[in-house]
Amino acid sequence: MTGHVPIEAGDGFDADALIMKLLIDKSVIPDPYPYYRALRENAPVHKAEWSNLWILSSYHDARAVLRDPRCGNPTPEAFEQGRSVIDGSRRPRSRDSLSMLNLNPPDHTRIRGLVSRAFTPRRVERMRPEVAAMADGLLEELGSSGDLVGSLAFPLPANVISAMVGVPTRDRDWLRPQVADLTVGLEPTASDDELNDAETASEHLSDYLTDLIAQRRAEPQDDLLSVLISAGDDGDMLTDAEIITNTLLIYAAGFETTTHLIGNIMRSLVAHPDQHERLRRDRGLVRTAVEEVVRFDPPVQIDGRFVHADIEIGGHRISAGESVLTLLGAANRDPAICDDPESFDVGRSNTQLLSFGSGIHFCLGAALARLEAQVVLERLLDRYNEWEITAEPTWRSRITLRGVERLDVAFA
C-alpha cells in the first residue's frame, strides 16, 4: 500500500490504511510524524480491522498500557501470529525464550533484578571517561568530513557495549555486523531472510559468549559478564543460558538505538540552527538538549504489549488475547503533555517522554544511552564550530528502530 492516504480529518480519513502505510511503506520512515498526528487527533485508540491489534497514539493511553500489569509480553505463538497478519510471513522460532524482552513476572522480575546489578548509576557513570576517550579517537579519525554513522555513531556504542560486556578489543570488529543482523529481530515487518540472518547471528554470538563466560568463570574481571556470573540473590544465580540471552538483548537494545540517537542529534541541530547556536552559547543545556532529541525524534518508535486480562483504555474495552502497539513517536508529541510539541527546544525542561518505555520494561540501558549521547554532543561542540549535512541521509528500512544508516557531514 504505497498510494496516497488522507492524513487530515474528514470523511476521507482512513485509520486502517494510514496504520498499514506506517507499518509497511518505507517512504514514510523519514517523516512519520504527520501520520502520527493524524492518528492522535482522529483515532487515538483504534482497533485495526484486519486483526486483534489496537494502536494507541496519545501519551496517557500509551503510558497506561505500558504500565498496566495486565499487559505484558506475548507468547511466541502470539508474536508469530501478529506478524503473519501484517505481511503473510512467519517468524522463525527463537531457540531461547529467557530474554527479559520475552518474559513476564515473576520470571521477568527475577532476571531483571539480577541483570540490573550490572547497570547501577555508579557503574554507568564510571564509564564516562572511557566513552569520551573512544569518542575522541573516532572523531580524530573522522576529521573534517565523512559519514558520521559509519565513523562515529555506529562504532562508538558498539565498542562501549563491548567494553562493558568484557569483549576483547580484537573481537569487536567481528562482533559489530553480527549484532547489526541480530537487531532486525525486533522489527514486526522484517523479511523472512532477515529473520533467518538474525537467527544465524544469534547462534554465532551465543557460541562466542559461551566461550567468553567460561573464561570469566576462571578469571573474573571488572565487566558485565563477570557481574552477571556472580549476581545472585539468596543463592538464585543466572544460568549460562540466561546470561547469554540477556547479554544479546543488551547488545540488540543498547547498540542500534544509541547509533540512531547520535544521528538524530546531528540531524536535529543542523535542522534547527537557532537551537544549535543557543546550545553553543550555553553548554549547560547539553543534558536537556539530549532529552529533547529523545522526545522529538526517538530512536525507538513503537512498543508492543499483549493483553492478558481485559482492560479499558480511552473508553474502549480491549479484551484478553488482543495486542496493542503504542506509537512512542506520536505519544512524545502529544500536546497534552507539553506546550508546542512540534517545535524543537533544547531548553525544554520537565520533559515527559516514553522513548525508553515505561513500567517494568523501562529500558535498562537508558542511563548509558544518555551518557553516550551527552559525551558525543559535548565533544562535537568542543571540536567543531560549524556543522553541515552534505547529502540526503540514507535511512534504514525499519520503523521500530528508526534511524539513518549513512549521514554525510562536513565540519569546520
Least confidently predicted of 3-17, 59-73, 158-172, 280-294: 3-17
The more confident residue out of 182 and 9 is 182
Res. 1: pLDDT tops 50: no
Cell readout for 214 is 567460561
Least confidently predicted of 138-152, 238-252, 253-267: 238-252
State the average pLDDT for the chain: 86
What band does 142 get if pLDDT is binned at 50, 70 and 90? very high
Contacts of 354 (CB under 8 A, 6+ apart): 59, 62, 63, 66, 303, 326, 328, 331, 332
Distances (CA, A) of 399 to 86, 171, 411: 14, 30, 29
pLDDT on residue 359: 85
| 363 close to 357: Cβ distance less than 8 angstroms | yes
pLDDT 10s digits, 362-394? 888 899 999 999 999 999 999 999 999 999 999
Per-residue 3-state assignment (H helix, E strand, C coil) for 42-65:
HCCEEECCCCCEEEECCHHHHHHH
Res. 79: pLDDT tops 60: no
Res. 339: pLDDT tops 60: yes
SS3 70: coil
Residue of 252, 302, 258, 314 lying closest to 64 (CA atoms) = 314
pLDDT on residue 82: 44
Helices (H), 219-359: 224-230, 240-271, 273-281, 286-296, 328-331
What is the pairing mode between strands 236-237 and 232-233? antiparallel
- Section 162-169 average pLDDT: 88
- Section 109-122 average pLDDT: 78
Distances (CA, A) of 294 to 151, 252, 257, 287: 21, 18, 11, 11
Cell readout for 411 is 565540519
Res. 399: pLDDT tops 60: yes
Among 109-118, 136-145, 217-226, 247-256, top mean pLDDT goes to: 136-145
| 369 close to 254: Cβ distance less than 8 angstroms | yes
To the nearest whole percent, how much of the chain has pLDDT over 90? 58
pTM of this structure: 0.86
Helix orientation angle between 240-271 and 172-182, rounded to the nearest 10 degrees: 80
Residue of 137, 194, 165 lying closest to 368 (CA atoms) = 165
What band does 81 get if pLDDT is binned at 50, 70 and 90? very low
- Section 281-285 average pLDDT: 96
Distances (CA, A) of 200 to 25, 40, 182: 27, 39, 8
Strand partners, 408: 147
pLDDT on residue 65: 96
Least confidently predicted of 32-46, 73-87, 251-265: 73-87
Distances (CA, A) of 92 to 61, 89, 401: 32, 10, 20
pLDDT on residue 3: 44
Specify the residue for cell string 547462534. 203
Specify the residue for cell string 540517537. 261
pLDDT on residue 324: 95
Secondary structure element (H or E) that encloses residue 80, with its range: helix 76-87
Res. 128: pLDDT tops 90: yes
What band does 36 get if pLDDT is binned at 50, 70 and 90? very high
